[in-house]
Amino acid sequence: MKEKHESHKCLVCGKHFLLKNLTPMGTVRKVITEEIARDIPGWTPQDYICQADLTRYRIQYVHSLLSSEKGEVTDLEFEVIDSMHQHELITKNVETTLEQKWTLGERLADKIATFGGSWTFLICFAIFLGLWITINTVVMVTRPADPYPFILLNLILSCLAAIQAPIIMMSQNRQEAKDRLRSQNDYQINLKAELEIQHLHEKLDHLLLHQWERLAQIQEIQLDLLSEMSKKD
């Protein structure tokens, strides 16, 4: 209990904190200690650092790592770094975000493209072609409205294809934008998960070190008690 309320000085800011709010420098990852050594070259493994300064150096390391790999930090990576600092989630509902931006024409283009690529449209169009050919070759044999080779039908089909093609392209462009936003969201989530896992490993190392120290102290006390009991005997 005495150690729990014991206070130590932070190596970076110089303020005093309880031991439970400090991290020994010996448990901090080497890449982070290298960042700290640039500002404080004379640190030792017995020194302590507070959580705020440790988080700041971690973010600084992530920033420098991403900058060295890609030359510059993108807006997506800045969002990940900021979310780690603020302890916020970066998961987004892509469908909801996009649905709020689409215009009436874009939504109509999606519905037309969906219908144009369905079995319902294919069956209906096949029935229409069959009826058109049957009427102009069987029913209206003497005076057909569109005699063979069905020039009017070809004109209708050409107009339909000319209208349908740009509508399908509009829908495909919207789908590409949706896929691009999904991939950006996935990249942010994967990057943050990797950094959080690394942070978790550091916390586990810190906890294990403290547990070993406590076990060693308990064993020392037990040895002292045993030695005292042996002296009494």
**pLDDT, tens only, 131-144:** 988 888 887 777 78
Query: What is the distance, to the nearest Å, from the Cα of residue 229 to the centroid of all Cα atoms in its chain?
Result: 60
Task: State the pTM of this model.
Answer: 0.42
Q: What is the mean pLDDT of residues 101-109?
A: 76
C-alpha span between 132 and 128 (Å, rounded): 6
> Per-residue pLDDT tens for 33-77?
888 888 888 888 888 888 888 888 877 777 776 665 554 445 656
What is the model's pLDDT at position 127? 93
Token reading at 180: 């691009």
Q: Report whether 11 contacts 47 (CB < 8 A).
A: yes
* Contact by Cβ (8 Å): 13, 40: no
Sorting pLDDT into bands at 50, 70 and 90, what band is 110?
confident
Q: Is the pLDDT of residue 106 over 70?
A: yes
Ordered by start, the domain boundaries in the chain are 7-90+186-232, 94-172
Residues 74 and 79: their CA atoms lie apart, in Å, by 9
Helix axes 119-134, 151-232, angle to 10 degrees: 170
pLDDT of 187 above 70: yes
